Structure 1
Amino acid sequence: MNNILINNVLDNIKLRHLGEQLQQARNKCGMTQAEAAKVINAARTTMVAIEKGERRVKATELIKLARAYGISVSNFVRVRPVIEPFKVRFQKAYRQNEVEKFQVESVIEQWEKFCQNYLELEEIMNAPLPQNYPREYEVSRMPIERTAEAIAVGERQRLGLGDGPIPLLRDTLEQSVGLRIFYLKMPSKYSEVYTYDEKLGGCMAINANHPEERRRWSLAHGYLHFLAHRRKSVVGLIEGQYKRMPESDRLAEAFSKYFLMPTSGLLKRFYDMCRENKNQKFTPTNLFILAHYYGVSCELLTYRLEEMELLPSGTA
Structure 2
Amino acid sequence: MGVTVDEHESTEALATRIRSARETVRLTQAQVAAELGVSRPTLISMEKGTRAVSSAELVKLAELYGQDVATLLRPSAPPASIRARFRTGLMTNSTDGDLEQAVDELERFADGYLDLLRRSQFRLPGRPPAVRSTDYLGPESAGEALATEERNRLGLGDGPLQVLREVLEVEVGLRIFFLDLPSKVAGLFIHVDPLGGCVGINRNHPPQRRRWTMAHEYAHFLASRDRPEVTRLGAGRVNDTERFAEAFAANFLMPRNGIVRRFHELKQDSDGKATPATLVQLAHAYRVSVQALCLRLETLDLIKPGTWDRLKDNKFQPRAAADMLNLAPIQDNGAPLPYHYRTLATQLFMDGEITETQFAQYLDMSIVEARTEFHKLTSTQDVGEDGQSQIVDLLDSVE
Residue 160 of structure 1 corresponds to: 155
Which residue in the other structure is 2:100 paired with? Answer: 105
Distance in structure 2 (CA, Å) of the matches to 1:95 and 1:56: 38
Partner-residue secondary structure (3-state), 1:28: helix
What is the SS of the residue equivalent to 1:282? Answer: coil
Distance 1:56 1:261 in 2: 57
SS for the counterpart of 1:117 is helix
Structure 1 equivalent of residue 70 of structure 2: 74
Q: How much does 1:234 deviate? A: 1.1
Aligned equivalent of 2:206, options 200, 207, 211: 211
**Alignment match, 1:173:** 168
Q: Aligned-pair RMSD on alpha carbons? A: 2.1
Q: In structure 2, how many angstroms separate the alpha carbons of the residues matched to 1:145 and 1:121?
A: 40
Structure 2: distance between partners of 1:123 and 1:50: 24
| 1:131 CA drift (Å) | 3.3
2:259 to 255, 258, 266: 266
Change (3 A) 1:95 1:51: closer
SS in 1 for 2:162: coil
Structure 2 regions of 5+ residues with no counterpart?
1-6, 309-399
Q: Which residue of 2 aligns with 1:7?
A: none
Q: How does 1:117-266 map to 2 (within 5 A)?
A: 117-140=112-135, 142-238=137-233, 240=234, 242-266=235-259
Aligned residue number for residue 46 of structure 2:
50
Cα deviation, 1:88-139, whole Å, max 9, x if unaligned, reads: 24757x9822xx2111211111122122222222322221212311111112
Equivalent position of 1:299 in the other structure: 291
- 2:18 is aligned to 22
Percentage of matched positions with identical amino acids: 38
In 2, the alpha carbon distance for the partners of 1:13 and 1:135 equals 30
Aligned residue in 2 for 1:88: 86
Deviation per residue, 1:181-230 (Å, 9 max, x gap) = 11122222110111111111100111111111101000001100111110
Q: Matches of 2:109 and 2:35 in 1, distance apart?
A: 29
Decide whether aligned partners of structure 1 residues 90 and 50 sit closer, same or farther in structure 2, where only a CA change above 3 A counts.
Answer: closer
Residue 310 of structure 1 corresponds to which residue in structure 2? 302
Instruction: Tell me, yes or no, if the aligned pair for 2:266 and 2:278 is still in contact at 8 Å.
Output: yes
Q: For residues 43-64 of structure 1, what are the alpha-carbon distances to aligned partners after superposition, in whole Å with 9 as ceiling and x for unaligned?
A: 3222222112111112222222
Structure-1 residue corresponding to 2:378: none
TM-score scaled to structure 2, two decimals? 0.71
1:123-176 CA-to-partner distances (Å, cap 9, x unmatched) read 222212123111111123630111110000000011111111110000000000
The match for 1:5 is none
Q: Secondary structure of 2:307's partner?
A: coil
For residues 13 and 276 of structure 1, the distance between their equivalents in structure 2, rounded to whole angstroms, comes to 66
- What is the TM-score normalised by the length of structure 1? 0.89
CA drift of 1:282 comes to 1.7
Matched AA of 1:148? G
Question: Helix, strand or coil: the match of 1:285?
Answer: helix
Q: Is the 8 A contact 2:188 2:199 kept in 1?
A: yes
- Looking at structure 2, the residues matched to 48 and 95 of structure 1 have their Cα atoms a distance apart, in angstroms, of 30
Question: Structure 1: how far apart are the matches of 2:151 and 2:197?
Answer: 18
1:68 Cα offset (Å)? 2.2
SS of 1:196's partner is: strand
**2:86 alignment partner, SS class:** coil
The residue number in structure 2 matching 1:4 is none
Q: How many residues align?
A: 300
Deviates more, 1:123-132 or 1:171-180: 123-132
The letter for the 2-side match of 1:283 is T
